[in-house]
Amino acid sequence: MSNSGGRPEAKIEARRLIRSRQHGTLGTLMDGQPYVSLVAIACDTDGVPLLLLSDLAQHTKNLLADPHVSLLFEATSGYPDPLAGPRLTAIGRAERYDDPRALARFTGRHPSSAQYAGFSDFHLYRVRIERGHLVAGFGRIVWIDGEALRFDAHDSALAAAEAEIIAHMNRDHVEAITLYAERLLGLGGTEWRMTGIDPEGLDLRRDGEVARLEFAAPVLTPAAARRTLAGLAEAARQAGGRP
């Protein structure tokens, strides 16, 4: 077991696991005892987990008294033995984060949260990960430094243009989004919508189903995003034998 910053591929795998999950298990401390609960999760553009929590929830009361938390991300569905599936335990601190852009990312990921996101007793939190413990399969266990789990381009021009890019794609390029889902991700159905884009990939949603399409290389600017999205659409058309 490694206790270093983590192999490059482990860092990427761990961050992809964080970005792809809708829900996770939140661990907080209550009177010195562990308390765990199920929470909805989104990610900021740098890969830092986002939580929208009610002041009335026990886990919120706990973290306000002691901000030390842990989050379990797991993708074990479909494995005959769930313990053979990948999971990451992230350890860090929860911080209040009143940022409309980040809140929009959360409500895009979880549309039902929009109806209460503006309530005075609901607040957004970022979980600043200090280290993560990745179990990616037999013999593939590693501790990863928190800095390695963050993508450094959080304040890029892409983040500022994200809302405009999403609106444009959902309004004018529905066919391309459908092709991403169908041809590049092997998903059926239509009515997929883009809910987020970050330097490492894009997020899709259809009703309660979510999907993520990873980019081959980091995308840091709106111009690069346009080229990448167009290239993915062309690749999807060719994959399906369409002109």
- In this structure, of 89-93, 187-191, 218-222, the range with the lowest mean pLDDT score is 187-191
* Mean pLDDT of the chain, nearest integer: 92
For residue 38, give Cα distances in angstroms to 26, 57, 233.
6, 11, 36
Cα separation, 175 vs 236, in Å, equals 11
Cα separation, 209 vs 189, in Å, equals 11
Final residue of a structural domain among 90, 117, 149: 149
The CATH number that applies at residue 188 is: 3.20.180.10
For residues 49 and 140, state if they share a domain: yes
Mean pLDDT, range 24-49, rounded to an integer: 97
The CATH number that applies at residue 124 is: 2.30.110.10
For residues 137 and 172, state if they share a domain: no
pLDDT of residue 156: 79
Q: What is the DSSP string of 145-206?
A: EGGGGS-TTTTSHHHHHHHHHHHHHHHH-HHHHHHIIIIIS----S--EEEEEETTEEEEEE
pLDDT of residue 4: 47
60 closest CA partner among 24, 109, 95, 21: 95
For residues 20 and 139, state if they share a domain: yes
For residues 44 and 122, state if they share a domain: yes
pLDDT of residue 1: 42
Exposure letters 88-104 (e unless 16+ CB within 10 A, then b): bbbbbbbeebeeeebbb
Residue 206 belongs to some domain of the structure? yes
pTM of the model: 0.91
Residue 3 belongs to some domain of the structure? no
pLDDT of residue 2: 45
Cα separation, 125 vs 55, in Å, equals 11
Count how many domains the chain has: 2
Range(s) of the domain holding residue 113: 8-149
Final residue of a structural domain among 103, 128, 149: 149
4: which DSSP letter? Answer: S
Residue 199 belongs to some domain of the structure? yes
pLDDT of residue 189: 79
pLDDT higher at 7 or 156 = 156
Q: Is residue 140 very low, low, confident or very high in pLDDT (cuts 50, 70, 90)? A: confident
Mean pLDDT, range 17-30, rounded to an integer: 97
Residue 242 pLDDT exceeds 60: no
pLDDT of residue 238: 92
Q: Is residue 241 very low, low, confident or very high in pLDDT (cuts 50, 70, 90)? A: low
